[in-house]
Amino acid sequence: MEVIARGKKERRVRERPSEDAGLPKLIEIDRKHGVERIVPGHVWRTKAFKWSPQTFATESEQLNSKFIESTVQDKSLAKFIENPCRSMIYGVGGNPDDAKAKYFAAYLVALHMQHLKGDANPVWATLYGGFDNHYLDKERAPPTLIVITNLTVNSTAFRIEKARDIIEAYPNVPRIVVCAGLDPMSFLATRLFCPVHGLAYFIDSIVKKKIDII
């Protein structure tokens, strides 16, 4: 691990896994397995981007401030690539918006569909207001993966409850939770009260990042 001194402060820089770790250099969606039937059209406005996760600090005041090293995001993606059907809750966040986070979620959907081919039944659950939650309809074919979107730091308790119901209803498949305005560790821990098995966080350069350690 390299330590870069900055006056009275220093920043820790973790070594990234080597290229032979199986991680992509570019997050670019392979569309040949029918992922476009699952992912909403607006997600495709985001272009492919370099996979270069950054260390971030948990942002919720309810959590003790903790630095999440970039290697955590690398390991999360490597784990998913190894088994895209693994039962897990994958928190994917964006700040100030979730455009890249949704594109990354679509990338995970494509990996899942490539792995299962014709047996894949991913569901893209965009949560809205109202009392219905048709993603829990027992007449629907059980999903093999579910993406939950339209969650922000200001989402109502009712929408949060919907998301949690979906997470609990499908414990044996990958559940990808996309949020905006807060890091995914903080969001899942303090809003959804869920365990976190994988993380990805995409922070725009206009957002202040707390990475200095006194």
| Cβ partners under 8 Å of residue 197, min gap 6 | 76, 79, 88, 89, 90
Tell me which fold the domain 2-203 belongs to: Rossmann fold (3.40.50)
In the predicted structure, residue 152 carries a pLDDT above the cut 80: yes
The pairing of beta strand 145-152 with beta strand 174-180? parallel
Confidence at 129, pLDDT banded by 50, 70, 90: confident
In the predicted structure, residue 211 carries a pLDDT above the cut 70: no
- Residue-level pLDDT at 4: 34
Confidence at 12, pLDDT banded by 50, 70, 90: very low
Tell me how far apart the alpha carbons of residues 82 and 68 are, in angstroms, rounded to a whole number: 22
- Residue-level pLDDT at 80: 98
Tell me how far apart the alpha carbons of residues 137 and 169 are, in angstroms, rounded to a whole number: 10
In the predicted structure, residue 130 carries a pLDDT above the cut 80: no
Confidence at 206, pLDDT banded by 50, 70, 90: low
- Residue 191 CB coordination number (10 Å): 22
Domain ranges of the chain: 2-203
DSSP code of residue 17:
P
